[in-house]
């Protein structure tokens, strides 16, 4: 049976699911794997799926795709735009969208598996396809590892993965060394003393405390990190209060921190925690703030030798100039846990999903950041083709590069 990949992608885009809730998505994957005659298990790491193609002696190559969506209201205007809603971990009803392209990742991996099955006479070895949940929480890969994915399935000799991104379609971005930053997600609870809005003198206002903290945190990167170094401190969420005449007792901030290595991580964390505690003290807080690490992700580091080998394979397959060095992305990923825990090389690359003409026009006008939606934007939507076909071909070329050619 031949998979209708475009229809599959459109279906996944219309029916996104939040992290660790990807039950329908897993079902679509399972149905496709069954049609292809590939052995698989569902429920790995709660909602993950792992599939195996065994094809004689040779290396074990892992191919990974993430499958979760985001609490974003889609505004792409596509005729297959998501209108789905879900319930987030706090129990809030939220809009849901594949605003990071994971639907494209899943569709591309399924297409690559179809091609690899059809060409088994040309290669030898084992392919393990990992459809991972909850990348957006930075928790899905570790959930699969905790559930024994490295022991229940053939252990990898190399881990490969890709991510669609706002580069021109037909472009591949990959670099040796640190490809993506390490990150921490923090929840900071600032503790004040609530009271009536008409009597602020009788309170310790956590909203003012939060405002001062947010502004002071902006100085970490601008004034305490060497301008030649990379670091990001973002306050992505702030919540406090329920009514205009009530000063609440607490305020919550959610922070996203990014850095290239563990040394920078230690420096930035120290500065962030110092500022949070100092602003609470300056506000007269009677209790210290509570700082909780929600997730911690290592840097995504591409193996030097494997990256050089794969870059050469991409050049041979697609022509010189297809592969560019995109620089280090300050976004973060949890794919590297698979390679780290297995003690094997990782290569993780980006592939373009933007109409090349639109990208060129925006670049000429100096409006790329304004006119080309990025991942996590409500306007983000990869160009269906050739992005999907390219995603399939990338994975096939990469897998075949590290598998053994079948004897003539």
* 3-state per-residue secondary structure call for the chain: CCCCHHHHHHHHHHCCCCCCCCHHHHHHHHHHHHHHCCEEEEEECCCEEEEEEEECCCCEEEEEEECCCECCCCCCCCCCCCCCEEECCCCCEEECECCCCHHHHHHHHHHHHHHHHHCHHHEEEEEEEEEECCCCCCCHHHHHHHCCHHHHCCCCCEEEEEEEEEEECCCEECCCEEEECEEEEEEEEEECECEECCCHHHCECHHHHHHHHHHHHHHHHHHHCCCCCCCEEEEEEEECCCCCCEECCEEEEEEEEEECCHHHHHHHHHHHHHHHHHHHHHCCCCCCCEEEEEEEECCEEECHHHHHHHHHHHHHHHCCCCEECCCCECCCCCCHHHHHHHCCCEEEEEEEEECHHHHHHHHHHCCHHHHCCCCCCCCCCCCHHHHHHHHHHHHHHHHHHHCEECCC
pLDDT attached to residue 262: 87
- Encode 120-129: b = buried (16+ Cβ within 10 Å), e = exposed: eeebbbbbbb
Whole-angstrom Cα distance, residue 267 to residue 315?
A: 39
Sign of the Cα pseudo-torsion (386, 392, 395, 401, in order): negative
User: Which residue's structure tokens are 């390679």?
Assistant: 339
Chain region(s) in the chain for CATH 3.30.70.360 = 183-295
Per-residue pLDDT tens over the stretch 76-119: 999 999 999 999 998 999 999 999 999 999 999 999 999 999 99
Per-residue pLDDT tens over the stretch 294-306: 989 999 999 999 9
233: pLDDT strictly greater than 80: yes
Whole-angstrom Cα distance, residue 293 to residue 289?
A: 13
pLDDT attached to residue 212: 98
What is the average pLDDT across 33-45? 98
Annotated binding site: 100, 102, 136, 163
Whole-angstrom Cα distance, residue 49 to residue 149?
A: 10
Chain region(s) in the chain for CATH 3.40.630.10 = 5-181+299-405
Percent share of the chain, pLDDT over 90: 96
Domain 183-295, CATH number (from 3.30.1330.60, 3.30.70.360, 3.90.1150.150, 3.40.1190.20): 3.30.70.360
Spatial CA neighbour of 209 closest among 246, 250, 241, 245: 250
What is the average pLDDT across 157-168? 98
Q: Which of residues 19 and 321 earns the better pLDDT score?
A: 19
Strand partners, 87: 93
Annotated binding site for Mn(2+): 100, 102, 136, 163
Instruction: Fold for 5-181+299-405, please state it.
Output: Aminopeptidase (3.40.630)
Residue 352's pLDDT band, with cuts at 50, 70 and 90, is very high
406: pLDDT strictly greater than 90: no
251: pLDDT strictly greater than 90: yes
What six digits make up the tokens of 106?
Answer: 């899943």
What is the average pLDDT across 25-48? 98
pLDDT attached to residue 407: 78
CA dist list (Å): 178 to 115, 159, 166, 174, 260: 30, 15, 20, 10, 7
1: pLDDT strictly greater than 80: no
171: pLDDT strictly greater than 70: yes
Is the separation of the CB atoms in 158 and 345 below 8 Å?
A: yes
Residue 408's pLDDT band, with cuts at 50, 70 and 90, is low
Cα 52 from chain centre: 23
Per-residue pLDDT tens over the stretch 252-285: 999 999 999 889 999 999 999 999 999 999 999 9
Whole-angstrom Cα distance, residue 135 to residue 67?
A: 8
Whole-angstrom Cα distance, residue 283 to residue 319?
A: 61
What is the average pLDDT across 216-223? 96
Spatial CA neighbour of 102 closest among 59, 47, 53, 179: 47
């Amino acid at each position: 049976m031949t998979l209708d990949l475009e229809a599959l992608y459109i279906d996944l885009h219309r029916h996104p699911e939040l992290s660790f809730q990807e039950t329908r998505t897993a079902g679509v994957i399972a149905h496709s794997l069954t049609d292809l005659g590939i052995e698989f298990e569902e429920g790995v790491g709660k909602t993950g799926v792992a599939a195996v193609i065994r094809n004689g002696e040779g290396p074990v190559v892992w191919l990974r795709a993430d499958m979760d969506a985001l609490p974003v209201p889609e505004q792409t205007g596509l005729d297959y735009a998501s209108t789905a809603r879900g319930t987030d971990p706090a129990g809030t009803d939220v809009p849901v969208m594949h605003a990071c392209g994971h639907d494209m990742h899943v569709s591309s991996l399924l297409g690559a598996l179809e091609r690899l099955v059809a060409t088994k006479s040309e290669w030898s070895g084992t392919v393990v396809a990992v459809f991972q949940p909850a990348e957006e929480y930075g928790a899905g890969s570790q959930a699969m590892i905790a559930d024994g994915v490295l022991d229940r399935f053939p252990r990898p000799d190399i881990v490969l993965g890709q991510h669609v991104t706002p580069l021109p379609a037909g472009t591949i971005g990959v670099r040796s060394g640190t490809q993506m930053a390490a990150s921490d997600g923090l929840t900071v609870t600032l503790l004040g003393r609530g009271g009536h809005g008409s009597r602020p003198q009788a309170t310790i206002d956590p909203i003012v405390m939060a405002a001062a903290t947010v502004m002071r945190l902006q100085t970490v990167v601008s004034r305490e990190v060497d301008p030649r170094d990379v670091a990001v401190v973002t306050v992505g969420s702030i919540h406090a209060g329920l009514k205009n005449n009530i000063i609440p007792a607490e305020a919550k901030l959610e922070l996203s921190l990014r850095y290239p290595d563990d040394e920078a991580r230690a420096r930035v964390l120290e500065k962030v925690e110092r500022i949070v505690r100092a602003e609470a003290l300056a506000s007269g807080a009677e209790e210290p703030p509570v700082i909780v690490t929600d997730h911690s992700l290592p840097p995504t580091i591409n193996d030097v030798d494997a990256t050089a080998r794969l870059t050469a394979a991409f050049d041979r397959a697609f022509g010189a100039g297809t592969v560019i060095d995109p620089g280090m992305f300050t976004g973060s990923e949890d794919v590297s846990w698979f390679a780290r825990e297995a003690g094997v090389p990782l290569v993780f690359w980006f592939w373009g999903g933007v109409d090349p003409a639109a990208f060129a026009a925006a670049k000429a006008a100096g409006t790329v950041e304004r006119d080309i939606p990025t991942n996590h934007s409500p306007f983000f939507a990869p160009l269906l083709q050739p992005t999907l076909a390219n995603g399939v071909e990338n994975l096939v070329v990469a897998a075949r590069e590290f598998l053994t050619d079948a004897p003539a």
